[in-house]
Amino acid sequence: MRARRVAALGVLLVLTGCNSGPPNEPSLPPPRVISGPLAVTTGCTGRSPSAPRPAEPSLAADPGDPRHLVATWLENPSGMVVAVSHDGGGTWSRSALPGLLVCAGGRYLHVSDPWVSIGHDGIIYVGALATQSPGSTGTAHDIVVSVSRDHGTSWEAPVVVETATAPPRQPDKEAILADPRRPATAYAVWVDYRVVSGVEPSVNQVIFARTGDGGRTWSTPAAIYSGNDEAQQNQLLMTAGGVLLDVFAEAPSLPGTAHPPPLPVKIRLIRSSDQGNTWSTPVDAARFTYTNAVDPGTGAQLRFFGQDISAASAGNAVYVAWFEDHADFSTILVARSEDAGVHWRPPQRVVREKAEAFLPTLAVAGDATVGLLWFDFRHFNPGSATLDTDVWFSASRDRGVHWIERRAAGPFDLRSAPAVRYGPFIGDYMGLVGLPDGFAAAFVQAKPQSRNGPTDVFFSRIAG
């Protein structure tokens, strides 16, 4: 497929933000808003009367120049926005990712699941799940990847990696990894659900594809795992020895209910030593009980589920994190492997609160410091009209044994975020990347912290 290069003009912004909380609470410097109006309107801008609703950011740092950062997120009505910083997050230029939505010259009505990764050669890969107009036989969903070869100044037309029509097949939740060792090489993983008309899917296969020409073409998608269960939140990592890992949560069924019955979940991974040509049998990293966050004031369901795991690696060390929200306590735990995911140590507890904690996000800095970002309700007042939610960060300098916690942002009213299926939506994941001297984070806050609409994307530079 011949790539078509499309200019992606952006607006340059200098960052401002605020961070208020209890005066004696250890806190990070205030985060900065990086979402907002676009300099050049697309054909989609103005079609919706609602304000922009940024959500679900992904963040990557250039391995060759960690001051070069790229964030991408969902935003109504523009589809997906990319933001680029060349000064470590001090200033950003942002633009709508071209060639996706029908109103911007593409063929899709809807996009979701943004994911970004940058290779050592500087090539930027942005993946998405894109949905076409319904047809007589079903709705086509595509896994697509857009590429920039000039540090995010312009973007080639999205390349379709897989297309599937539901029923009988529906792809979901892709992740991208640029190979840190091989130029012009990247990997994509996602799941294909087996869909029967009118039946909620619960069984899927893990699908994999690879590019060796910088995203111009991709290998034929191939199933690399099928346990006859539901696998979710697939994430790709690569160890120092070049072993490719796919980490995911798996259970017989992952219900979308506010108070799910006790359900055992495994965090599993499969390993490949030949760039994804062959894969090992699954290794169990951890087991836990599936839970779902709820509004502590109303009992209403929230869109934060037990399958929202996170994984990160550095050298041959691999880390996984998950949360459990029970009636009388909430916890976030981290487990680690020192041998590229073959053997796993018992998990370490990072958070234990009466208030619910959810959406953990992991990264490892250049000095091997482990960072963890999450949200919780510890400052919520029962009976309040607002659901006060804070962003927290914890760091470990001894491979996850001991942690130092600091407040990163908030409070914001989660109830003011746009409502979707399963509750207010800020995203099913957030962005956190390790830098040589700390971390960079991209996350969403709602009112009163947001400035440009019901939600905004915020950026923090965090010392380890």
Q: Measuring CA to CA, how many Å separate 266 from each of 59, 171, 260, 304, 309?
A: 26, 21, 16, 17, 11
Tell which residue, 318, 193, 295, 196, has the closest CA to residue 245: 318
CA distance 354 to 352: 7
Residue 419 has pLDDT above 90, yes or no: yes
Whether the per-residue pLDDT at 23 is higher than 70: the answer is no
Q: Per-residue pLDDT tens for 301-335?
A: 999 999 999 999 999 999 999 999 998 999 999 99
**Contacts (Cβ under 8 Å, ≥6 apart) of 398:** none
CB contact at 8 A, 457 and 58:
no
Q: Which residue has the higher pLDDT, 5 or 12?
A: 12
What's the mean pLDDT when you consider all of the chain? 92
Q: Are 312 and 362 in contact (CB under 8 A)?
A: yes
Helix and strand counts by DSSP (H, E) for the chain? 0, 35
Question: Could you read off the pLDDT of 179-231 as tens digits, one per residue?
Answer: 999 999 999 999 999 988 767 777 899 999 999 999 999 999 999 999 888 99
- 149-169: pLDDT as tens digits: 999 999 999 999 999 999 999
The answer on pLDDT for 48 being more than 80 is: no
Confidence of residue 16 (pLDDT cuts 50, 70, 90): very low
For residues 17, 365, 403, 460, the Cα torsion angle rounded to the nearest 10 degrees is 0
For residue 252, what pLDDT is reported?
A: 86
**Amino acid 413: pLDDT:** 98
Q: Calculate what percentage of the chain has a pLDDT beyond 90.
A: 83
- Give which of 254, 417, 238 is closest to 340, Cα–Cα: 238
pLDDT at 249: 97
In terms of Cβ atoms closer than 10 Å to its own Cβ (0-12, 13-18, 19+), residue 299 is exposed
Q: Sheet harboring 169-178: ordered strands across?
A: 169-178, 186-194, 204-211, 222-225
What domains are defined for the chain?
Answer: 5-462 (2.120.10.10)
At 202 the pLDDT is 79
Question: How much is the pLDDT for 42?
Answer: 61
| pLDDT tops 50 at residue 461 | yes
Amino acid at 303: R
| Residue 391 contacts residue 445 (beta carbons within 8 Å) | yes
Q: How confident is the model at residue 105 (pLDDT cuts 50, 70, 90)?
A: confident
What whole-number distance in Å separates Cα of residue 452 and Cα of residue 112? 21
Confidence of residue 258 (pLDDT cuts 50, 70, 90): confident
